[in-house]
Amino acid sequence: MQTTPAIILAGGMGTRLSKVVNDVPKPMADINHQPFLHYLFQYLSTQNIHSVILSIGYLHEKITNYFGNKYFDIDIEYSIENEPLGTGGAIRKAYELVKKDAFVLNGDTFFGIDLQKLKHPTNDIQVALKQMKNFDRYGTVEMNDNDIITAFNEKKSCKEGLINGGIYYLRENIFKHLEHNLKFSFEKEILENRASGLTIGAKVFEDYFIDIGIPEDYYKAVTYFQMHKFEK
């Protein structure tokens, strides 16, 4: 039985993490003597994901040398950017290795959702959302009573709101009819603009969410993965 593959966007440089992470791509940040990607692979293994496409760019050899062609029980293929393509360009390039639908995950965030619950039979894109309180690092997301996204709001200080959790379920051939430059932002040009009339739905999850993009949250991730183990 063929299972849905996952694309992991792992080309980030980690500029804001330079005080704690040096000379490796951000997803290779050391968390308890393991790269952050190690924990994403552990999580994906518990979700019965058996095929991953790693979208890589900056210092990509450090990722390919570490993970090889198989990690845990997951087969790995690589989509290598010779120059930064933006999240949209990276996903579209990686999608050349995908035959059907796929999950997409950010390589610097962890959101421990049940991936199968994100799937939708008709929406072109499904976005995993997280309810957050007292934040200013993220924009908020609005949706209607049918769980269709209606707006992405700019980053600002919020007491409470839904944020994009950085996991997507993309339907087959999503890029087939979209005209874009080689380099583009998936968030801005696809999600926020709802490109070419795509139907973009969402599901809210209560699972733990962490983004290691700043030192404060990097250290939270260190503590979290010390305390939590993944089980199938």
Contact between 147 and 205 under an 8 Å Cβ cutoff? The reply is: no
Q: What is the CATH number of the domain that holds 34?
A: 3.90.550.10
Instruction: Confirm whether 169 is domain-assigned.
Output: yes
pLDDT value at position 23? Answer: 78
Q: Would 67 be classed as within a structural domain?
A: yes
Q: 79 vs 9, 14, 43, 124, 216, CA distance in Å? A: 10, 19, 21, 23, 30
pTM: 0.94
The tally of domains found in the chain comes to 1
Q: What are the tens digits of pLDDT across the range 131-186?
A: 999 988 899 999 999 999 998 988 888 899 999 999 999 988 787 767 767 888 99
Would residue 71 count as lying in a domain?
A: yes
Residues 211-220 have a mean pLDDT of 90
Tell me if 1 is assigned to some domain: no
> In this prediction, what percent of the chain has a pLDDT beyond 90?
66
At 18, the pLDDT band (50, 70, 90 cuts) reads low
Distance CA 139, CA 152 (A): 7
- CA distance linking residue 43 with residue 228, whole number of Å: 11
Question: Which pLDDT value is given to residue 51?
Answer: 97
CB 163 within 8 A of CB 138: yes
- Kindly state whether residue 76 falls inside one of the protein's structural domains: yes
Q: How confident is the model at residue 228 (pLDDT cuts 50, 70, 90)?
A: confident
- Comparing 60 with 194, the larger pLDDT belongs to 60
Which residue is listed with tokens 């603009």? 193
- Indicate whether 110 belongs to any domain: yes
Decide if 26 is inside a domain. Answer: yes
Q: Which domain holds residue 92?
A: 6-227
In a domain, 232, yes or no: no
